Structure 1
Amino acid sequence: MLRISDARIDGFIAEDVPYIDLTSEILGIGDQPGEMEYFTREDCVLAGTDVVRRIMEKLGCDAVTAASDGQRIEAGKAFFTVRGRAGDLHAAWKVCLNVFDHLSAVATKTRAMVDAAHAANPRCEVLTTRKSMPGAKDLLTCAVMAGGAFPHRLGLSETVLVFEHHLTFFGGFERFVDELPAIKAKCIEKKLFVEADAERAITLARVSANSIGVDGIQLDKVPVAELQELVSRLRAIDPRLTLIAAGGINPQNAGAYAACGVDGLATTAPFTAKPIDMSVRMRRA
């Protein structure tokens, strides 16, 4: 389970309820006991349950029934029910709904890509990039994992991944290849990956097969029609290389890319998912 601090949970609540629920106070209904259930109008893969449960606890509401992250929920079904004071239920209502409908959308789109990739190649994983909304990485990571994928890269401190921009400052691709043994020697506990086109990928594979080289190659924007042959060539040169396809991969083409024999698909697509249509019902207890 991803760690999310209490301060983060408090921040979610404060964003929507900075001081009081003025409407409940004006109507004088805050102390009345009640029950609230969340339901979906669309089939989806649920995400955000653990975050919502902690928000509810902070606001004094008790969960009665709750589905789990990653569970498929049919349209029309209730998936989370809580009891509490009417004022607390109203304070939790929208912030929790927003967590559920946004994260479940990401999880649902992720699962579609995972299912497509695994149907074509069970050994190919879907990996989401760090091109997500700033400030929401923890929530989006929860959603991605609920959908069956993994983070490709949670930040610059995590992975050694060399892009063309790095090589601009380093002195070019040729110098990088020449100094690969020294570069690799610095990656004591980390694997070394490089984003490359077809020509550079073949060069890197040959170097790695014959001496100290890269651990993996990220093949950027290589069309499906060309990718399978390229993967076969790279595997023949150095079967130990990890090969990742990246650039323009989405639910519609994930299966085709996975079928090319790569080990993973790096994608941003799940982060653009349209929120799931969800709502709540409240009643007196």
Structure 2
Amino acid sequence: MVTLSDERIDRIIAEDVPYLDLTSHVLGIGDEFGEMEYFTRETCVLAGVEVAERIAAKLGCEVAKEACSGDRLEAGQSFMTVRGSAAQLHQAWKVCLNVFDHLSAVATKTRAMVDAVHGVNPACEVLTTRKSMPGVKDLLIEAVVAGGAYPHRLGLSETVLVFDHHLTFFGGFDAFVEQLPSIRPRCVEKKLFVEVDAQRAIALARVNAESARACAKSEGAIPWTGVDGVQVDKLSVQELSELVKELRSIDPRLTIIGAGGINPGNAADYAATGVDGLATTAPYTAKPIDMSVRMRMAE
């Protein structure tokens, strides 16, 4: 899972507990010992367990885990019990609950999309984009992975992905294709992808095929000058299906990603087109799962 620093855990706690649990202090119950049981009111895919464990432990609680991130839970099922003083339990209560509510929602929506996609195309993966709420990417990645998907791009420092905006400054698509032989060597350790429309995708597939033929005819003197994949944005299912067939006939090695408007309602249809992956932002809009806690005094 995602590695979170102690400082990150401290900042998550500080959002809700900047100093102390004032209510427990005023009531004079802070030192009473008890336990707190987390449970879900909805069927869901659990996420955030590792984060919540560290939060509770940081606050001095003892954690007994009953389920793991990625587990499917039924309504009413308990999944974690925390023991400690009343002050410690109340400090951990909402911080951990918020982690569970929100991350489990993302994981649940993600798993629904993954199951739908794999049901029609096991070779197609759900890929979540970097269009997430700033400041919580690490937590969202935890949820996405728990749901069975993969991050599409973790940031601009990863895969080389060329958009129209880049081409605006580069001199256009034709100039890009013309200079591919000089661009390609700079991606010696990285994948080179381009977001394109149908016609440009076909053009790049043909460039790949020409490059492959040239490499095959040479004795190693001619380098590979094609692209690794294309990301096709906002085509209808029918249009994408026809395009995938054409691209596969030109260059079967080309990785094809479908993007733009992919959601739980249409993910299976887009996966059935034969693409290798679907880039989506949909899981990030999941409604929080209804979860709660039961607290009791220690016997």
- Bucket of the pairwise TM-score, normalised by the shorter protein: over 0.9
Deviation by residue 1:222-255 (Cα, 9 ceiling, x = unmatched) = 1101111100000000001000000000011110
Identity across the alignment (%): 73
* CA distance in 2 between partners of 1:130 and 1:260 (Å): 24
Q: Which amino acid aligns with 1:273?
A: A
Structure 2 residue 95 is the aligned partner of structure 1 residue 82: no
Unaligned runs of 5+ in 2: 212-224
Structure 2 residue 73 is the aligned partner of structure 1 residue 60: no
Deviation by residue 1:125-145 (Cα, 9 ceiling, x = unmatched) = 000000000000000000000
Structure 2 residue 186 is the aligned partner of structure 1 residue 186: yes
Matched-pair contact (CA < 8 Å) for 1:45–1:72: yes
Query: Of the candidates 247, 251, 254, which is equivalent to residue 241 of structure 1?
Result: 254
Q: In the TM superposition, what is the alpha-carbon distance from 1:181 to its structure 2 partner? A: 1.1
SS of 2:135 mapped into structure 1: coil
* CA distance in 2 between partners of 1:93 and 1:185 (Å): 53
Deviation by residue 1:98-157 (Cα, 9 ceiling, x = unmatched) = 000000000000000000000010000000000000000000000000000000000000
* CA distance in 2 between partners of 1:25 and 1:2 (Å): 35
Query: Of the candidates 209, 227, 243, which is equivalent to residue 230 of structure 1?
Result: 243
* CA distance in 1 between partners of 2:82 and 2:17 (Å): 19
Q: In the TM superposition, what is the alpha-carbon distance from 1:177 to its structure 2 partner? A: 0.5
Deviation by residue 1:9-29 (Cα, 9 ceiling, x = unmatched) = 001111111111110000000
Q: Which amino acid aligns with 2:39?
A: F
Structure 2 residue 285 is the aligned partner of structure 1 residue 272: yes
Q: Which amino acid aligns with 1:160?
A: V
* CA distance in 1 between partners of 2:90 and 2:248 (Å): 57
SS of 2:53 mapped into structure 1: helix
Q: In the TM superposition, what is the alpha-carbon distance from 1:66 to its structure 2 partner? A: 2.7
Q: Which amino acid aligns with 1:15?
A: E
* CA distance in 1 between partners of 2:40 and 2:20 (Å): 28
* CA distance in 1 between partners of 2:154 and 2:109 (Å): 19
Structure 1 equivalent of residue 92 of structure 2: 92
* CA distance in 2 between partners of 1:161 and 1:154 (Å): 12
Q: Which amino acid aligns with 1:121?
A: N
Residues 13-24 of structure 1 mapped to structure 2, 5 A cutoff? 13-24=13-24
* CA distance in 2 between partners of 1:83 and 1:265 (Å): 42
User: What do you get for the CA RMSD once the two structures are aligned?
Assistant: 0.6
Residues 84-163 of structure 1 mapped to structure 2, 5 A cutoff? 84-163=84-163
* CA distance in 2 between partners of 1:195 and 1:226 (Å): 16
Unaligned runs of 5+ in 1: none
Q: In the TM superposition, what is the alpha-carbon distance from 1:65 to its structure 2 partner? A: 3.1
* CA distance in 2 between partners of 1:130 and 1:13 (Å): 25
Q: Which amino acid aligns with 1:171?
A: G
SS of 2:63 mapped into structure 1: strand
Matched-pair contact (CA < 8 Å) for 1:49–1:66: no
Residues 192-207 of structure 1 mapped to structure 2, 5 A cutoff? 192-207=192-207
Runs of 4+ residues deviating >3 angstroms: none
SS of 1:10 mapped into structure 2: helix
Q: In the TM superposition, what is the alpha-carbon distance from 1:185 to its structure 2 partner? A: 1.1
Query: Of the candidates 262, 266, 269, which is equivalent to residue 253 of structure 1?
Result: 266
Structure 2 equivalent of residue 262 of structure 1: 275
TM-score, normalization by structure 1: 0.99
Pairs aligned (count): 285
SS of 2:194 mapped into structure 1: strand
TM-score, normalization by structure 2: 0.95
